[in-house]
């Protein structure tokens, strides 16, 4: 759907591994040339040397992977763990294939897993924008009582102009995202309720005025 995502979702895992091992990247790529080799190594290092269906890898397969890893490693801190085949919870080998990731705002997370590394550039920006929106809403005088995942819960007075408030809140939230994703429109949906409901949506009367949404 979004071809540009390839730029963010691409990762040179072999280079990350070579850097962690202080190994020669060319030699490492020659040792494990296919993506599934790295995937297999990831499972071995996590202490779960098995296929997706739960079938354990053959012992000779895991033995060979450990020997190859030992032969490539020039990082003395990691070498002893490799020689001991240490995959305990606190073993540094558990994070050997983890990497660092940063958002375009400069916030960095280190030693993250694959899924976290792929998620952070997007969810991280959303989080930055939401923090800015929280600040902007508060400055505008709105009482934000909660924030749930990606939704603000804002308390309004029953005598308030609900249509004006809804449009104003939506505008503030959308504008707050612009410094983080310039040029990309970020619409904001809203609903008027007496309490928070996940499935709530905006409802209007015949005159187009915003009304309180009620569950069926």
Q: Which of 196, 201, 130, 193 is nearest to 162 (CA)?
A: 193
The yes-or-no verdict on residue 5 having pLDDT over 70 is no
Q: What is the pTM of this model?
A: 0.60
Residue 93 main-chain phi, psi, to 5 deg: -65, -25
Give me the helices (H) in the chain, please: 5-9, 13-21, 25-31, 35-45, 59-72, 76-83, 114-139, 162-177
Q: Is residue 76 part of a domain?
A: yes
The yes-or-no verdict on residue 206 having pLDDT over 60 is yes
Contact 194, 212 (CB under 8 A): yes
What is the pLDDT confidence band of residue 10, given thresholds at 50, 70 and 90? low
Q: Is residue 41 part of a domain?
A: yes
Q: Are 18 and 93 in a shared domain?
A: yes
What is the average pLDDT score of the chain? Answer: 89
Q: Are 89 and 146 in a shared domain?
A: no
- The enclosing H or E element of 211 equals strand 210-211
Q: Is residue 116 part of a domain?
A: no
The yes-or-no verdict on residue 12 having pLDDT over 70 is yes
pLDDT given at position 99: 65
Q: Are 91 and 158 in a shared domain?
A: no
Number of domains in the chain: 2
Q: Is residue 167 part of a domain?
A: yes
Q: Which has more confidence, 110 or 50?
A: 50
All residues at 6 or more sequence positions from 114 whose CB lies less than 8 Å from its CB, including other chains? 11, 97
Q: Are 86 and 137 in a shared domain?
A: no
> Per-residue pLDDT averaged across 163-173, rounded?
97
Q: Are 143 and 67 in a shared domain?
A: no
The yes-or-no verdict on residue 71 having pLDDT over 80 is yes
pLDDT digit string, tens, across residues 37-53? 988 998 999 899 999 89
What is the pLDDT confidence band of residue 122, given thresholds at 50, 70 and 90? confident
For residue 126, the enclosing domain spans: 122-211
pLDDT given at position 1: 46
Question: Sign (positive/negative) of CA torsion 107, 110, 112, 118?
Answer: positive
The yes-or-no verdict on residue 187 having pLDDT over 90 is yes
Q: Is residue 111 part of a domain?
A: no
Q: Is residue 216 part of a domain?
A: no
The yes-or-no verdict on residue 106 having pLDDT over 90 is no
The length of the chain in residues reads 216
């Amino acid at each position: 759907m979004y071809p540009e995502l390839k730029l963010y979702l691409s990762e040179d895992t072999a280079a990350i591994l070579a850097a962690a091992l202080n190994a020669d990247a060319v030699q490492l790529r020659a040792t494990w040339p296919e993506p599934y080799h790295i995937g297999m190594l990831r499972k071995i290092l996590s202490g779960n040397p098995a296929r997706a269906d739960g079938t354990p890898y053959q012992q000779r397969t895991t033995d060979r992977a450990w020997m190859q890893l030992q032969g490539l490693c020039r990082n003395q801190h990691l070498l002893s763990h490799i020689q001991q085949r240490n995959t305990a919870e606190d073993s540094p080998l558990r994070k050997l294939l983890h990497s660092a990731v940063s958002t375009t705002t400069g916030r960095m997370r280190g030693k993250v897993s694959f899924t976290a590394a792929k998620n952070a550039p997007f969810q991280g920006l959303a989080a930055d924008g939401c923090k800015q929106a929280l600040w902007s809403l508060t400055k505008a005088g709105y009482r934000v009582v909660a924030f749930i995942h990606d939704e603000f819960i804002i308390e309004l007075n029953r005598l308030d102009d609900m249509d004006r408030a809804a449009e104003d809140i939506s505008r503030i939230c959308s504008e707050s995202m612009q410094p983080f994703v310039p040029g990309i429109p970020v619409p904001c949906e809203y609903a008027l309720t007496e309490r928070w409901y996940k499935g709530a949506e905006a409802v209007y009367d015949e005159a187009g005025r915003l009304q309180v949404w009620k569950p069926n």
